[in-house]
Amino acid sequence: MARPIWTGTLSFGLLNVPVSLMPGERRTDLQFRMLDSRDRKPVRYERVNADTGEEVPWKDVVKAFEYDKGSYVVLEEEDIKAAAPESHETVEVEAFVDATEIDPRFYEKPYVLVPAKKAEKGYVLLRETLRGSGRVGIARVVIRTREYLAAVLPQGDALVLELLRYPQELVDPADYPLPAGKPSDYRISAKELQMAEQLIDSMSGKWAPGDYKDEFRERLQAIIRKRIKSKGGTARIEDEPEAPEETTTNVVDFMSLLQKSLAAKQRTPAKKTAARTAKKAPAKKAAKKAAAKKAAPRRKTG
């Protein structure tokens, strides 16, 4: 079984659901090593100075940003840590939006949220509410050291967390020379449109992902197995140890937390997610924490 990326909480309103973030994709690319054709020994990739050709030890390697051609500014570890987000163990849902409003181009990478023991009630509550409303949760999550925008959506018995691309990461199609206008502008007749629709209808069916396979990978694997057999080689796969499951014993009064979350939203209307600034001013942040500590009840886990 795969190991969790991290364990933490899925948070919406005052409700916290202990979860594990599990990989939602399986990499099937075949990995190759580079060998010296003369003696079949692995070829190493070394860090060398571009001018002297000498190998550079890790302790002397620094990170730098090229702000102009050939001009660099060196960043210290403290600089990177100062810019890093604070929370590493929470999927913080900030808003709920209609699932149909999200352009498919924004979806980047899937993960599966797995509830901890005794946390199934909150998990199912959110899953079924999202399913019934046709909405998805828009959240922020920190994976390793980077903060991502994400969507939390129901899929079967699971809550799936899909990393989202930021708008600036997408290219506007209008940047390219595209054929705008009506079909008639390109001398497409009504008959041609009708025939094209008939062709699409004749090729239509239900989406069955199991019908599609990476044929190139399968053919290449067959060649590899044949080569191994002819050379008398062997292959060994070692299973990774299973990660221990998280446990929790707290009981949560979900009705009370839901009522308090609704009351809080009615007192202070939520701002749109898009208006959220990347970095809050220290004074504003401190005031918000002080107000939250005074007005909001202590969060429970369950």
Residue with tokens 């909150």: 122
For residue 8 the two structure tokens come to: 């933490």
Q: Which tens digit of pLDDT belongs to each residue from 209-248?
A: 888 888 888 888 888 788 778 765 443 434 445 444 444 4
The answer to whether position 243 is within a domain reads no
Query: Could you tell me which of 145, 122, 143, 151 has the C-alpha nearest to residue 18?
Result: 122
Residue-level pLDDT at 106: 94
Dig out the tokens for 281 from the structure: 């001013």
For the chain, give the mean pLDDT.
79
- What is the count of structural domains for the chain? 1
17 inside domain: yes
- Can you tell me the mean pLDDT for 18-40? 78
Query: Which pLDDT value is given to residue 241?
Result: 52
Residue 300 pLDDT > 70: no
Asked whether residue 95 is assigned to any structural domain, the reply reads: yes
Question: Which pLDDT score, from 0 to 100, does residue 75 have?
Answer: 85
Give per-residue pLDDT as tens, 41-83: 888 878 888 888 888 888 888 888 888 888 888 888 788 777 7
Closest CA to 55 of 69, 45, 64: 45
Digit-coded pLDDT (tens) for 255-292: 787 777 777 776 655 444 444 444 444 444 444 454 44
Confidence class of residue 137 from pLDDT cuts 50, 70 and 90?
A: very high
Over the stretch 168-200, which tens digit does the pLDDT of each residue have? 999 898 888 889 999 999 999 999 999 999 999
What CATH number should be reported for the domain holding residue 157? 2.40.290.10
Examine residue 276 and state whether it is found in any structural domain, yes or no: no
In a domain, residue 123? The reply is: yes
In a domain, 210, yes or no: no
For the chain, report the end-to-end CA distance as a whole number of angstroms.
24
Judge whether 151 lies within some domain.
yes
* pLDDT beyond 50 at 249: no
Q: Name the nearest CA neighbour of 247 among 97, 53, 116.
A: 116
The boundaries of the domain holding residue 93 are 9-23+88-169
Phi first, then psi, for residue 142 (nearest 5°) are -105, 120
Assess contact for 18 and 7: CB atoms under 8 A: yes
Quote the pLDDT of residue 28: 66
Spatial separation of the C-alpha atoms in residues 152 and 19, rounded to whole Å: 13
Distance CA 235, CA 225 (A): 10
Region at 70 (left for phi over 0; alpha for psi -120 to 50; beta for the rest): left
pLDDT at position 142 is 87
CA distances from 230 to 31, 34, 142, 224 (A): 20, 21, 48, 10
| Contact call for residues 71 and 64 (beta carbons, < 8 A) | no
Asked whether residue 279 is domain-assigned, the answer is no
